[in-house]
């Protein structure tokens, strides 16, 4: 009976002693996480106040950063954008340090890989940032051009352009991150091709009436003739 | 002799000419079909009104491939009796040269200014090469006020169809008048007279590698003259009829060029326009008479369709530029039927000021910003056409005057928000 009890209790003891060994690390991780989050929040607050005091928004306007953000359809103030980027960088950094404090071999490897991975991640972030700005700019160009020419589906087409570009940019970023590159390329080809075929079918079959209306409207406008008005 | 962008053969011609009193410049690009008439009118004008003065005609060409410069070199007045000249006509020397630098009307003008400077011209004029309504009298009307030393800059004053020139009538004229306080009715007319002193002043400006070289040189010349205190006047030239520039020309691209040039000048002369209050007429030369004008067809429905598409699709951009208040007023126009559609002048003036402020604050890339104005501009134009459908030329002019007064009245809004 005693042997049986020992057999039953032994795993509990091992788990308990393992927990006793692990608990300080866990506590350290939680402390680092909480401390880091508090630190990140304080930095966020101080940074926001400092940037406002330094008129960072006005400086960004002068340097053209605001225009660059607007090109990408980013409407937050430059100060807020910088504050958010710094805050989330600190959160992620804290998380990595916290995970390192667990002293679990697998997690240690993960953290080490994370830091080795940083250059690739940086490139991917760069691709995403530039791509996002470019996609926003292209989308707005399409939107304004189509509206100024009187097309009814301007917003839809502009959003479609944005979506296609974002799919392309995401694929490029994932390829840069080396996340299953073959699958990414295949998935991208399937999704991109799929969207194009879907649009073609939607317009060719589902949108026969809409297509007819557009063509008829175009023909009608040609028959009516354009304005003689000289704007200049 | 400053011949920075002049070719060797031109420099040689200038050496032979040495000095002139009058210079008439014609910028061109593939205008072989119309430039002959313009050259004849200028030659006749010089012979008729300035027979004793040494003059030169300069054609500054942008690399035409249709023989424009050959037409200029070979054109002579064939029938002197037709223009009632009693004296012998001595042919006016002609310099026809391709300009160098950035392609555009501004670069063409720069070459003309350089030649004027090199020849020490006292009075100069520039006229467009696609004009069909130019007469010899234009030459006198543009040059005489300068030769009499009463003006440094003579802007044109035309009669145009009440629905033509709507960018001038609804944006450029009211805005420049409210900003700089001078009632120059056709600030982007394209046909100007100016003194040699002003030509040298233009030439000395560091703008010839900027957009001014490409487009917007007309508003730049007018504004530079007004803002720098030169004596400005205008001459009534009659009707302006010219070849349709490009039937497929994109309205929003035209709007971008003109409006960005006007807004850009606001950045150059803030101290001048902030000090100006109200407006005053400028001296006007020429005998004004009524002109018969060709019928202009306007497709109001299409304009309103584009305005409504703008309302449907450009909401975010318009709110960012106009703010909720003015956007709300614009939005309420969307529900009006065609006949009842009216775009209030007061709202329109605030919209233009909002766009000027957004341009100043770089809220959006300039091209996106100004092109997003197109549906609003078409809404305002449609409203003007509907209101003035039965009005005569004077009625339309009175409506433009009311719009100008709104711009002047609301200028404080611009001043208070310009930081």
DSSP state of A179: S
pLDDT at B332 over 60: yes
Supply angle C-alpha A128, A134, A135, rounded to 5: 85
Q: Can you tell me the distance from the alpha carbon of A120 to that of A130, in angstroms, rounded to the nearest whole number? A: 15
Closest-CA residue to B403 (of B340, B352, B338, B341): B352
Task: Give the minimum alpha-carbon distance from B120 to chain A in angstroms, rounded to a whole number.
Answer: 33
Mean local confidence (pLDDT), B157-186: 93
pLDDT at B354 over 80: yes
Would you call B306 and A150 a contact, using CB atoms and an 8 Å cutoff?
yes
Please give the residue of chain B at the shortest CA–CA distance from A144. B372
Task: Give the minimum alpha-carbon distance from B188 to chain A in angstroms, rounded to a whole number.
Answer: 8
- Contact in structure between B126 and B222 (CB atoms under 8 Å): no
Residue B83's pLDDT band, with cuts at 50, 70 and 90, is low
Q: Can you tell me the distance from the alpha carbon of B384 to that of A227, in angstroms, rounded to the nearest whole number? A: 15
pLDDT at B218 over 60: yes
Cβ-based burial of B268 (10 A; exposed 0-12, middle 13-18, buried ≥19): middle
**High-pLDDT (> 90) share of chain B, %:** 60
User: Tokens 């087409």 — which residue?
Assistant: A157
Dump strand ranges (E) for A142-228. none
Would you call B375 and A148 a contact, using CB atoms and an 8 Å cutoff?
yes
Mean pLDDT of chain B: 89
Q: What's the confidence (pLDDT) of residue A96?
A: 85
- Contact in structure between B80 and B2 (CB atoms under 8 Å): no
Q: Can you tell me the distance from the alpha carbon of B161 to that of B240, in angstroms, rounded to the nearest whole number? A: 9
Quote the tokens at residue B147.
């030769």
Would you call B364 and A229 a contact, using CB atoms and an 8 Å cutoff?
no
Quote the tokens at residue A223.
């028959």
Q: What's the confidence (pLDDT) of residue B2?
A: 46
- Contact in structure between B192 and B226 (CB atoms under 8 Å): no
Would you call B306 and A232 a contact, using CB atoms and an 8 Å cutoff?
no
Q: What's the confidence (pLDDT) of residue B3?
A: 44
User: Which of B302, B320, B365 lies nearest to residue A150, judging by beta carbons?
Assistant: B302
Fold of A119-232: Helix Hairpins (1.10.287)
pLDDT at A207 over 80: no
SS3 A123: helix
Model ipTM?
Answer: 0.83
Please give the residue of chain B at the shortest CA–CA distance from A69. B364
Of B232, B250, B285, the last residue of a domain is: B285
Beta-carbon-side half-sphere exposure of residue A231 (alpha carbons within 13 Å):
25
pLDDT at B247 over 60: no
Return all residues near B153 (Cβ < 8 A) that are at least 6 apart: B192, B193, B194, B195, B198, B221, B222, B225, B226, B230, B231, B232, B233
pLDDT at A62 over 50: yes
pLDDT at B210 over 70: yes
Of B256, B285, B314, the last residue of a domain is: B285
pLDDT at A211 over 70: no
Task: For residue B388, count other CB atoms closer than 10 A to its CB.
Answer: 18
Do B244 and B136 share a structural domain? yes
Helix (H) or strand (E) holding A18: helix A2-53
Task: Give the minimum alpha-carbon distance from B119 to chain A in angstroms, rounded to a whole number.
Answer: 33
Residues facing B235 on adjacent strands: B156, B285
Q: What's the confidence (pLDDT) of residue B319?
A: 93
Do B319 and B248 share a structural domain? no
pLDDT at A220 over 60: no
Of B227, B261, B285, the last residue of a domain is: B285
Instruction: Number of helices (H) and strands (E) in chain A: give both, helices first.
Output: 8, 0
Supply angle C-alpha A47, A122, A34, rounded to 5: 45
In chain A, where are the structural domains located? Answer: 1-103, 119-232
Ramachandran quadrant class, B279 (left: phi over 0; alpha: psi -120 to 50; beta: rest): beta
Contacts of B295 in chain A (CB under 8 A): 228
Task: Give the minimum alpha-carbon distance from B106 to chain A in angstroms, rounded to a whole number.
Answer: 17
pLDDT at A116 over 90: no
Q: What's the confidence (pLDDT) of residue B171?
A: 96
Q: What is the 3-state secondary structure (H, E, C) of chain B?
A: CCCCCCCHHHHHHHHHHCCCCEEEEEEECCCHHHHHHHHHHHHHHHHHHCCCCCEEEEEEECCCCCCHHHHHHHCCCCCHHHHCCCCCCCCCCEEEEECCCCCCHHHHHHHHHHHHHHCCCCEEEECCCCECCCCHHHHHHHHHHHHCCCCCEEEEEEECCCCCCHHHHHHHHHHHHHHHCEECCCCCCCCEEEEHHHHHHHHHCCCCCCHHHHCCHHHHHHHHHHHCCCCEEEEEEEECCECCCCCCCCHHHHHHHHHHHHHHHHHHCHHHHHHCCCCEECEEECCCCCCCCCCCCCCHHHHHHHHHHHHHHCHHHHHHHHHHHHHHHHHHHCCCCCCCCCCCHHHHHHHHHHHHHHHHCCCCCHHHHHHCCHHHHHHHHHHHHHHCCCCCHHHHHHHHHHHHHHHHHCHHHHHHHCC
Would you call B363 and A228 a contact, using CB atoms and an 8 Å cutoff?
no
pLDDT at A114 over 80: no
Q: Can you tell me the distance from the alpha carbon of B216 to that of B105, in angstroms, rounded to the nearest whole number? A: 8
- In this predicted model, what pLDDT tens digit does every residue of A153-204 receive, in sequence order? 889 989 988 888 888 888 888 888 877 777 777 777 777 787 778 777 766 6
B218 located within any domain: yes
Residue B1's pLDDT band, with cuts at 50, 70 and 90, is very low
Q: What's the confidence (pLDDT) of residue A217?
A: 59
Contacts of A146 in chain B (CB under 8 A): 313
Q: What's the confidence (pLDDT) of residue B154?
A: 97
Do B322 and B201 share a structural domain? no
Q: Please count the residues of chain A.
A: 232
φ, ψ at B66 (rounded to 5°) = -110, 20
Q: How far is CA B58 from CA A14, A163, B112, B187, in A?
A: 101, 54, 7, 23
Would you call A147 and B254 a contact, using CB atoms and an 8 Å cutoff?
no
Would you call A144 and B255 a contact, using CB atoms and an 8 Å cutoff?
no
Q: How far, rounded to the nearest angstrom, does the alpha carbon of residue A51 sit from its chain's CA centroid?
A: 24
Q: How far is CA A100 from CA A15, A23, A30, A117, B96, in A?
A: 21, 14, 11, 16, 79
- Least confident window among A24-28, A213-217, B186-190: A213-217
Mean local confidence (pLDDT), B92-98: 88
Mean local confidence (pLDDT), B249-264: 90
Q: What's the confidence (pLDDT) of residue A210?
A: 65
Would you call A227 and B365 a contact, using CB atoms and an 8 Å cutoff?
no
Q: What's the confidence (pLDDT) of residue B23?
A: 95
B235 located within any domain: yes
Residues spanned by the domain of B155: 8-285
User: Which of A148, A158, A228 lies nearest to residue B306, judging by beta carbons?
Assistant: A148
Mean local confidence (pLDDT), B354-372: 92
Q: What's the confidence (pLDDT) of residue B150?
A: 92
Residue B350's pLDDT band, with cuts at 50, 70 and 90, is very high
Count the domains in chain B.
Answer: 2
Comparison of pLDDT for B167 and A103, the residue scoring more:
B167
Interface residues from chain A to B (CB-CB < 8 Å):
61, 64, 66-67, 70-71, 75, 137, 140-141, 143-152, 154-155, 158, 221, 224-232
Do B372 and B272 share a structural domain? no
Comparison of pLDDT for A202 and B200, the residue scoring more:
B200
Closest-CA residue to A168 (of A138, A202, A198, A208): A138
Q: What's the confidence (pLDDT) of residue B274?
A: 95
pLDDT at A72 over 70: no
Closest-CA residue to B202 (of B186, B190, B218, B181): B218
Cβ-based burial of A151 (10 A; exposed 0-12, middle 13-18, buried ≥19): buried
Q: Can you tell me the distance from the alpha carbon of A102 to that of A99, in angstroms, rounded to the nearest whole number? A: 5
**High-pLDDT (> 90) share of chain A, %:** 16
Residues facing B159 on adjacent strands: B239
Q: What's the confidence (pLDDT) of residue A70?
A: 72
Model-level pTM? 0.79
Mean local confidence (pLDDT), B74-87: 66
Q: Can you tell me the distance from the alpha carbon of B72 to that of B148, in angstroms, rounded to the nearest whole number? A: 29
B294 located within any domain: no
Q: What's the confidence (pLDDT) of residue B221?
A: 95
Closest-CA residue to B75 (of B57, B61, B62): B57
Residues facing B58 on adjacent strands: B25, B95
B291 located within any domain: no
Q: What's the confidence (pLDDT) of residue A225?
A: 52
User: Which of B247, B298, B371 lies nearest to residue A148, judging by beta carbons?
Assistant: B371
**Domain CATH for B88:** 3.90.550.10
Task: Give the minimum alpha-carbon distance from B270 to chain A in angstroms, rounded to a whole number.
Answer: 17
Please give the residue of chain B at the shortest CA–CA distance from A221. B302
User: Which of A67, A148, A227 lies nearest to residue B374, judging by beta carbons?
Assistant: A148
Per-residue burial over B277-292, b = 16 or more CB atoms within 10 Å of its CB, e = otherwise:
eebeebeebbeeeeee
Mean pLDDT of chain A: 81
């Amino acid at each position: 009976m005693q042997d049986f009890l020992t057999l039953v209790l032994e795993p509990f003891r091992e788990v308990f002693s393992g927990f006793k060994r692990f608990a300080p690390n866990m506590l350290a991780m939680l402390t680092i996480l909480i401390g880091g989050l508090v630190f990140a929040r304080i930095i966020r607050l101080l940074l926001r106040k400092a940037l406002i005091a330094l008129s960072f928004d006005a400086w960004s306007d002068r340097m053209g950063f605001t225009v660059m953000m607007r090109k990408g359809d980013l409407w937050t103030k430059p100060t807020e954008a910088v504050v958010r980027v710094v805050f989330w960088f600190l959160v992620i950094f804290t998380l990595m340090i916290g995970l390192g404090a667990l002293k679990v071999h697998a997690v240690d490897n993960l953290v080490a890989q994370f830091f080795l991975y940083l250059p690739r991640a940086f490139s991917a972030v760069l691709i995403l940032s530039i791509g996002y700005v470019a996609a926003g700019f292209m989308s707005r160009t399409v939107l304004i051009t189509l509206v100024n020419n009187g097309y009814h589906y301007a917003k839809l087409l502009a959003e479609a352009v944005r979506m296609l570009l974002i799919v392309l940019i995401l694929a490029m970023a994932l390829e840069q991150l080396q996340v299953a590159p073959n699958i990414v390329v295949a998935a991208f080809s399937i999704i991109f091709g799929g969207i194009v075929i879907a649009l073609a079918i939607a317009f060719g079959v589902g949108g026969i009436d809409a297509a007819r209306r557009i063509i008829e409207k175009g023909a009608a406008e040609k028959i009516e003739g354009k304005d003689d008005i000289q704007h200049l | 002799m400053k011949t920075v962008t002049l070719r060797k053969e031109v420099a040689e011609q200038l050496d032979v000419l040495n000095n002139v009193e009058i210079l008439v410049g014609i910028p061109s690009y593939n205008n072989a079909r119309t430039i002959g008439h313009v050259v004849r009118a200028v030659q006749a004008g010089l012979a008729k009104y300035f027979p004793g003065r040494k003059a030169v005609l300069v054609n500054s060409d942008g690399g035409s491939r249709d023989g424009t410069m050959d037409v200029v070199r070979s054109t002579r007045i064939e029938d002197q009796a037709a223009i009632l000249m009693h004296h012998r006509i001595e042919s006016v020397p002609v310099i026809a040269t391709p300009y160098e630098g950035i392609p555009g009307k501004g670069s063409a003008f720069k070459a003309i200014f350089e030649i004027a400077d090199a020849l020490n011209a006292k009075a100069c004029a520039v006229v467009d090469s696609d004009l069909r309504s130019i007469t010899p009298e234009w030459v006198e009307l543009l040059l005489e006020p300068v030769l009499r030393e009463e003006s440094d800059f003579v802007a044109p004053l035309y009669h145009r169809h009440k629905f033509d020139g709507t960018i001038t009538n609804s944006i450029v004229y009211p805005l420049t008048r409210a900003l700089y306080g001078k009632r120059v009715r056709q600030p982007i007319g394209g046909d100007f007279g100016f003194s040699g002193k002003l030509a040298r002043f233009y030439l000395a400006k560091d703008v010839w590698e900027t957009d001014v070289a490409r487009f917007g040189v007309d508003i730049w010349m007018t504004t530079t003259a007004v803002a720098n205190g030169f004596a400005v006047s205008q001459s009534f030239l009659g009707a302006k009829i010219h070849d349709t520039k490009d039937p497929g020309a994109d309205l929003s691209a035209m709007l971008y060029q003109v409006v960005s040039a006007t807004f850009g000048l606001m950045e150059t002369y803030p101290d001048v326009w902030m000090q100006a209050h109200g407006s005053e007429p400028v001296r006007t030369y020429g005998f004004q008479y009524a002109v018969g004008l060709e019928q202009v067809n306007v497709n109001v429905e299409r304009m309103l369709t584009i305005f409504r598409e703008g309302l449907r699709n450009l909401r975010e951009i318009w709110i960012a530029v106009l703010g909720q208040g003015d956007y709300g007023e614009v939005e309420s126009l969307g529900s009006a039927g065609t006949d009842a559609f009216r775009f209030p002048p007061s709202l329109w003036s605030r919209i233009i000021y909002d766009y000027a402020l957004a341009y100043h604050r770089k809220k959006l890339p300039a091209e996106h910003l100004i092109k997003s104005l197109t549906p609003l501009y078409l809404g305002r134009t449609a409203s003007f056409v509907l209101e003035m459908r039965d009005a005569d030329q004077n009625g339309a002019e009175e409506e433009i005057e009311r719009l100008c007064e709104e711009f002047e009245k609301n200028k404080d809004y611009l001043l208070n928000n310009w930081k």
